[in-house]
């Protein structure tokens, strides 16, 4: 097995956030595949209970149990790795926590799932989050002496809540402290925070090159920087559709200054009738696309100014499927993200 330097060597918990719909689940899946390549073992975790991972990997709905869902591409010199998935919900995590820490198997089973849910939602909203982040922290720390590195998983990737909620979701000590100043819950929250606030954990932001999601990304990074020691990670620009024109032509096209006759001649040479009419339509389309591309450049520059590593993932034009997902994983790897 070969090792190579990546931007996130030493990181074992990758939290993936971003504005809704920008591709958090897709990018988290691609990142898990990328991190697993070359014989690694990675856990991909979902916390919002929508079975997005099962859909993405085209497998049946996932239970609260760790299942292998994919084999990563091998490196030239080594074998592939394994991606496991887990759909974590706070109710199951609470039952498991009670069993593990108090041997309260009976309490766990006697409390109906509904009762546990009432407890976790109405009494203690902050507790929901600490149970979910706690499950991730537990997976990060879980030991296996037979593996290189001594851990069950080389990395854990979390498909996390969106940017608007990520700060509160991760900053669980503050959220729980009103609830429990001392005692086992506080102790649990503190030990989870040790993982979240260590250099082992980073928060990646997925965005598309539009004003709103870019603003949310910049706000999210600023928010994390204010929360002591929760580290922003990479910025992953998803669904990028670059327009392959040199800068001066791009500028000209955006202003509608196109060599119209040239365009018409080209179309005529291609044997198309009504080359003038077609050229007009094509010119309008091209200048529209050029304006979009220029606006995207502005957003790219705003993101670059945030000072975090940036990655670009292409728009998969024929629809997202497993092959597309492996392509995104390879792209993340070639850019040094994994
Ligand atoms: N690079 C890409 N190319 C093409 N389609 C993509 C790409 N990335 C994501 N998609 C598609 O965009 C849609 C949204 O992606 P995804 O579900 O990953 O976003 P999300 O941020 O997790 O959304 P939500 O906020 O609902 O959880 C999906 O249909 C997905 O297949
Ligand atoms: Mg999602």
Where does the pLDDT of residue 91 fall: very low under 50, low under 70, confident under 90, or very high at 90 and above?
confident
So what's the pLDDT on residue 115? 60
Instruction: Return residues with CB closer than 5 A to ligand 2 (ion).
Output: 24-25, 52
Q: What is the pLDDT of residues 51-71, one digit of tens each?
A: 999 999 999 999 899 999 999
Query: Does the beta carbon of 17 sit less than 6 angstroms from any atom of ligand 1?
Result: no
Q: What phi, psi does 122 have (nearest 5°)?
A: -80, -40
Q: How many of the other CB atoms lie within 10 Å of CB of 290?
A: 21
CA 87 to ligand 2 centroid distance, Å: 12
Give strand ranges (E) for 4-97: 13-18, 41-46, 67-71, 82-87
Query: Does the beta carbon of 29 sit less than 6 angstroms from any atom of ligand 1?
Result: no
So what's the pLDDT on residue 309? 98
Residue located nearest, by CA, to atom 18 of ligand 1: 23
In angstroms, rounded to a whole number, what is the distance separating the alpha carbons of residues 262 and 100? 74
Q: What is the pLDDT of residues 127-156, one digit of tens each?
A: 788 889 999 999 999 999 999 999 999 999
Query: Does the beta carbon of 25 sit less than 6 angstroms from any atom of ligand 1?
Result: yes
* Interval 15-36 mean pLDDT: 98
Query: Does the beta carbon of 24 sit less than 6 angstroms from any atom of ligand 1?
Result: yes
- CATH number (3.30.930.10, 3.50.50.60, 2.60.40.10, 3.40.50.300) of 13-241+315-333 reads 3.40.50.300
In angstroms, rounded to a whole number, what is the distance separating the alpha carbons of residues 295 and 224? 27
Query: Tell me, what DSSP letter sits at residue 119?
Result: I
Where does the pLDDT of residue 75 fall: very low under 50, low under 70, confident under 90, or very high at 90 and above?
low
Give this prediction's pTM: 0.90
The pLDDT of residue 327 is above 70: yes
Query: Does the beta carbon of 315 sit less than 6 angstroms from any atom of ligand 1?
Result: yes
The pLDDT of residue 318 is above 80: yes
CA 247 to ligand 1 centroid distance, Å: 30
Pick the more confident residue, 73 or 231. Answer: 231
Q: What is the pLDDT of residues 148-178, one digit of tens each?
A: 999 999 999 999 999 999 999 999 766 676 6
Atom of ligand 1 nearest to the CA of 29: 18
Atom of ligand 1 nearest to the CA of 20: 25
Domain definitions of the chain by residue range: 13-241+315-333, 247-288
Q: What is the pLDDT of residues 250-308, one digit of tens each?
A: 888 888 887 778 888 888 888 888 888 888 888 888 899 999 999 999 999 999 999 99
Which ligand has an atom closest to residue 322 CA? Answer: 1
In angstroms, rounded to a whole number, what is the distance separating the alpha carbons of residues 298 and 305? 11
In angstroms, rounded to a whole number, what is the distance separating the alpha carbons of residues 33 and 269? 47
Share of the chain above pLDDT 70, in %: 87
């Amino acid at each position: 097995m070969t090792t190579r330097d990546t931007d996130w060597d030493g990181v074992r918990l990758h939290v993936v956030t971003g504005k809704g719909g920008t591709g958090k689940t897709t990018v988290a899946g691609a990142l898990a595949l990328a991190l697993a390549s070359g014989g690694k073992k990675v856990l991909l975790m979902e916390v919002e209970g929508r079975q997005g991972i099962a859909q993405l990997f085209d497998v049946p709905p996932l239970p609260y149990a760790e299942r292998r869902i994919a084999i990563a591409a091998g490196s030239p010199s080594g074998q592939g790795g394994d991606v496991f998935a887990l759909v974590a919900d706070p109710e199951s995590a609470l039952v498991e926590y009670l069993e593990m820490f108090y041997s309260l198997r009976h309490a766990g089973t006697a409390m109906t799932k509904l009762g546990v849910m009432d407890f976790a939602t109405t009494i203690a909203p902050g507790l929901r989050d600490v149970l979910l982040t706690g499950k991730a922290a537990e997976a990060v720390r879980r030991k296996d002496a037979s593996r290189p590195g001594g851990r069950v998983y080389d990395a854990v990737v979390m498909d996390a809540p969106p940017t608007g909620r990520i700060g509160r979701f991760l900053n669980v000590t503050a959220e729980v402290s009103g609830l429990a100043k001392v005692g086992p819950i506080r102790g649990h929250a503190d030990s989870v925070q040790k993982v979240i606030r260590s250099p082992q954990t980073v928060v990646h932001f997925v965005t598309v090159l539009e004003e709103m999601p870019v603003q949310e990304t910049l706000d999210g990074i600023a928010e994390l920087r204010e929360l002591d020691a929760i580290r922003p990670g990479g910025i992953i620009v998803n669904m990028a559709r670059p327009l392959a024109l040199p800068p001066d032509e791009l500028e000209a096209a955006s202003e509608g200054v196109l060599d119209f006759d040239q365009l018409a001649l080209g179309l005529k040479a291609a044997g198309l009738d009504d080359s003038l009419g077609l050229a007009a339509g094509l010119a309008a389309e091209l200048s529209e696309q050029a304006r979009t591309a220029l606006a995207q450049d502005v957003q790219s520059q705003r993101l670059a100014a945030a000072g975090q590593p940036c990655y670009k993932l292409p728009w998969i034009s024929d629809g997202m499927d497993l092959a597309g997902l492996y392509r995104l994983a390879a792209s993340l790897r070639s850019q040094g993200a994994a």
